[in-house]
Structure 1
Amino acid sequence: MEVQVRNTPFYVKGVAFGDTVRVRADHERREFVFEKFVSESGHSTVRAIIRHDDARDVLNALLHKFGCSWEIDATGYLWAIDVPPHIDYASMRDALLLVADEGRIGVEEGALA
């Protein structure tokens, strides 16, 4: 079965919000299991790890400035960031890396359109 991803992945590489993927039902585990990437939406996924508590406000402001949405895991330290196609990701990346260079966050590019 093919489905459209409707959230920003925390752990899967190569998949972003809006992408189409093929999944299969695993009845034993009662969940869908990823099988194959089908098509790209144009969105990108970036993840940030909070290394210092004061980085939350900085990251929040930066993501608002660029018009991104994000989800935060249960720990509050892992942020999955959706970068829509119309965002200037090169500028956003530079801003994220400045905060990362200060040691306040870690950054991972999970899927780039």
Structure 2
Amino acid sequence: MSDEYVKVLFELEKEDEDYPPVDYERLWARPLGEGLFEIDNIPFFVRELSAGDVVAAQLGEGEVVFSKLVRESGSSTLRVIVFDETRVEDVRRRIQEFGCATELNVSKMLGVDVPPQVDLHAVRAWLMEEQSAGALEFEDACIRHDGSP
């Protein structure tokens, strides 16, 4: 990342005592001025946020801290855990073939950005087939479009 990017700190709410496994997530963002930042990577744990969203944040204790969502990008975010590490790149490649961007966290967790022009229903249908086969598990982290391209 160039010097023009900053990390925005998001405090996470625990869904249960073990998840998410961290209390905070820091996301790369591009400063837009006047305390606004455009998120530039796919969230792994932050809910209801997608790449390209614009957020307001402020400097607090030496970090840029999220305060509120200002504008949605229209993208949706999915999270995928691939059970067999040897299949991660195959799953990732297939998701990218739909037109989605992916980021790998740890060795088996993918963050998936589904842009508004991508058929969300098709992506989710394929993931559901793979989930039914026991190959992976996925969740909707932020759904922003109805699924039709």
Task: Report the CA distance between 1:81 and its aligned residue.
Answer: 0.7
C-alpha RMSD of matched pairs (Å): 1.3
Pair 1:4 & 2:38 matched: yes
Pair 1:24 & 2:62 matched: no
Percent identical among aligned pairs is 29
Task: Report the CA distance between 1:55 and its aligned residue.
Answer: 3.1
Alpha-carbon separation, structure 2, partners of 1:34 and 1:103: 36
Pair 1:55 & 2:80 matched: no
Alpha-carbon separation, structure 2, partners of 1:26 and 1:105: 38
Given candidates 75, 81, 105, the residue that maps to 2:112 is 81
Count of residues paired in the alignment: 110
Task: Report the CA distance between 1:31 and its aligned residue.
Answer: 2.1
* Larger Rg computed on CA atoms: 2
Task: Report the CA distance between 1:20 and its aligned residue.
Answer: 0.8
Q: 1 or 2, which has the higher helix percentage?
A: 1
TM-score by length of 1: 0.89
Counterpart for residue 15 of structure 2: none
Say which SS state the counterpart of residue 100 (structure 1) adopts. helix
Q: What stretches of structure 1 move > 4 A for 4+ residues in a row?
A: none
Structure 1: segments with no counterpart, 5+ residues: none
Structure 2: segments with no counterpart, 5+ residues: 1-34, 145-149
